[in-house]
């Protein structure tokens, strides 16, 4: 039987008390480190918790920042504007993301989940660390279009933030480093590990239906080379044969590496909560999982660096009958984690 265990961050960190630097008197603020529950069948964490341990106050500050339009130039577009919890922190109504003044990005907002296990971030792996990732949306013209110095000015002038920074960090400063650390402390807590699929692995009494079970067998045969392991991604960048959209001509990974061999490769996405993170693919071109499976079965085209996995048979792609598609979708739906999607800790209100 599998037992889940708690990754107790407090094992290597004593919970810290801090002096309140902003008020005239010395108030000691309790600021406990937070622990994260991770099933034992999950991979090793990649996030450097020692450099930035999540604490109660840091998490609360990070959450306030995540949902605050002050981080953008128009005062409206917060992180949470594009990353909506009900949809595993994706931007549901928009195919590509919408930023300040309705400016359009070129990519579909990614879900925010299980980031502490990832090596690189964004669709092409442009961000190598979670702490640095928000620099991209904050400064991008089509996203939040703001500068760090402006944000820090706004936060310093705010009625609440100086106090919250003072409580969350030892040096108490309202600065970019602490702001990014606080946002990360909010993001690292987002672990989705309690779907039906997980409940089965944890032996909690759930069982696959016959259709889901058959879908799992098909998935393991046809999809798991790339959507591998319990996070359903091998974290590599690959080309899965999408016809090139001439409007964007997004070259993917090669924009990061400059290598021709990386052209049209995108990060293999995790499929956790996939039922509700539509639209799909880096540019949100498919609305339904049925359309995604039609693509793998019959919609693929040969573009530069198409993955060899799709060129093994006489037919391009992965042949699937209608019945097989349905079974795979039934399996994918067992990856929906309502406890994560409805977790109060992450909710805006």
Which residues make up the interface to ligand HEC (CB under 6 A)? 71, 77, 79, 81-83, 97-99, 105, 107, 109-110, 112, 115, 118, 121-123, 133-134, 137-138, 143-144, 183, 187, 222-223, 225-227, 238, 240, 242, 266, 268-269, 271, 274, 277, 280-282, 289, 292, 296, 307, 309, 318, 328
- Least Å distance between CB 216 and ligand HEC? 11
User: Residues, the chain, total?
Assistant: 349
Residue 18 or 333 having the CB closest to ligand HEC: 333
- Least Å distance between CB 12 and ligand HEC? 25
194-197: long-range pairs with CB below 8 Å, 24+: 194/337, 194/339, 194/340, 195/272, 195/273, 195/334, 195/335, 195/336, 195/337, 196/334, 196/335, 196/336, 197/334, 197/335
Residue 110 or 195 having the CB closest to ligand HEC: 110
- Least Å distance between CB 331 and ligand HEC? 9
- Least Å distance between CB 73 and ligand HEC? 11
Cα→Cα distances 35→32, 49, 95, 304, 345, Å: 10, 11, 35, 45, 13
Residue 155 or 202 having the CB closest to ligand HEC: 155
Decide: 277 and 88 in contact? Cβ < 8 Å.
yes
Residue 202 or 227 having the CB closest to ligand HEC: 227
Neighbours of 162 (CB within 10 A): 17
Neighbours of 36 (CB within 10 A): 18
Residue 143 or 167 having the CB closest to ligand HEC: 143
Cα–Cα dist 347/163, whole Å: 22
- Least Å distance between CB 191 and ligand HEC? 13
93 phi/psi in degrees, rounded to 5: -80, -10
Cα–Cα dist 279/264, whole Å: 19
Residue 18 or 145 having the CB closest to ligand HEC: 145
210 phi/psi in degrees, rounded to 5: -60, -40
- Least Å distance between CB 276 and ligand HEC? 11
Residue 79 or 202 having the CB closest to ligand HEC: 79
- Least Å distance between CB 5 and ligand HEC? 24
């Amino acid at each position: 039987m599998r037992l889940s265990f708690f990754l107790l961050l407090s094992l290597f960190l004593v919970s810290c008390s801090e002096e309140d630097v902003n008020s005239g008197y010395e108030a000691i603020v309790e600021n406990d480190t937070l622990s994260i529950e991770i099933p034992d069948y999950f991979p090793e964490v990649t996030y450097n918790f020692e450099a930035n341990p999540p604490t109660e106050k840091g998490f609360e500050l990070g959450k306030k920042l995540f949902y605050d339009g002050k981080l953008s130039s128009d005062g409206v577009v917060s992180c949470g504007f594009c990353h909506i919890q009900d949809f595993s922190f994706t931007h549901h109504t928009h195919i590509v993301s919408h930023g300040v003044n309705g400016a359009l990005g070129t990519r579909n907002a990614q879900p925010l989940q299980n980031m502490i296990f990832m090596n690189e971030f964004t669709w092409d792996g442009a961000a190598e660390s979670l702490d640095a990732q928000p620099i991209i949306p904050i400064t991008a013209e089509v996203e939040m279009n703001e500068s760090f110095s402006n944000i820090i000015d706004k936060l310093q002038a705010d009625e609440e933030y100086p106090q919250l920074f003072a409580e969350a960090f030892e040096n108490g400063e309202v600065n970019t480093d602490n702001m990014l650390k606080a946002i990360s402390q909010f993001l690292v807590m987002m672990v989705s590990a309690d779907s039906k699929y997980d409940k089965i692995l944890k032996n909690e009494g759930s069982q696959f239906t016959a259709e889901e079970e058959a879908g799992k067998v098909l998935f393991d045969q046809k999809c798991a080379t790339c959507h591998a392991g319990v996070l359903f991604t091998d974290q590599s960048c690959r080309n899965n044969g999408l016809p090139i959209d001439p409007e964007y001509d997004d070259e993917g990974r090669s924009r990061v590496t400059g290598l021709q061999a990386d052209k049209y490769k995108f990060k293999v996405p995790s499929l956790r909560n996939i039922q509700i993170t539509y639209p799909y693919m880096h540019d949100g071109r498919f609305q339904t999982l049925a359309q995604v499976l039609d693509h793998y079965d019959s919609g693929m085209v040969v573009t530069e660096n198409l993955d060899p996995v799709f060129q093994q048979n006489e037919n391009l792609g992965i042949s699937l009958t209608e019945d097989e598609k349905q079974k795979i979708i039934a399996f994918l739906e067992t990856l929906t984690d309502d406890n994560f999607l409805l977790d109060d800790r992450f909710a805006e209100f």
